[in-house]
Amino acid sequence: MQMLDQRVGKIDALDTSLIVAYALGLAAILGFATFEAFGFTFSDPIVELNGATVTLAGLVSSGAVVVAYLTNSSDLSDYGDDALGYAAILTVFGTISVSVFSSVQSWLTSQPDLFGIALIGVMTAGYVAIAYY
């Protein structure tokens, strides 16, 4: 993975460009945005297993987190006992939960709009924490 490792402790161009894809994916999952490109809609289901549906938006958001993790420090011990480390860890679990579990998606979309917008902001800040490490 050495060739993927970029600058630890800084946000590089790749991480910056994926911030938009991550936030747009979350907005589509939560029903705040619709986006269509090349005949695909972000809300289109890709895989359905036992009631869990993975949409294109979920795949894009999860993929952005994976790329940010792989292109920065890939050592879990770097996510220390500070706010950025906790935000990064919670963002990983939150992204997976929002992307995969339809019950979580249903509950989140039933909340007031301000809650969803705040969630997008907090989770995007968590993505930035992952990109920073």
Tens digit of pLDDT for each residue in 71-112? 876 566 666 667 777 777 788 888 888 887 777 878 888 888
Residues in the chain: 133
Average pLDDT over residues 44-73: 82
Phi-psi region of 32 (alpha: psi -120 to 50; beta: other; left: phi over 0): alpha
The pLDDT value recorded for residue 55 is 84
**If DSSP codes are grouped into helix, strand and coil, which group holds residue 107?**
helix
Q: Distance between CA 99 and CA 79 in Å, rounded? A: 23
Whether the pLDDT of residue 59 is over 80: the answer is: yes
**If DSSP codes are grouped into helix, strand and coil, which group holds residue 28?**
helix
Placement of tokens 């949409």 in the chain: 55
Whole-Å CA distances, 103 to 5, 37, 38, 99, 109 = 36, 27, 29, 11, 10
The two structure tokens encoding residue 87: 């935000």
The two structure tokens encoding residue 25: 């994916």
Whole-structure pTM value: 0.77
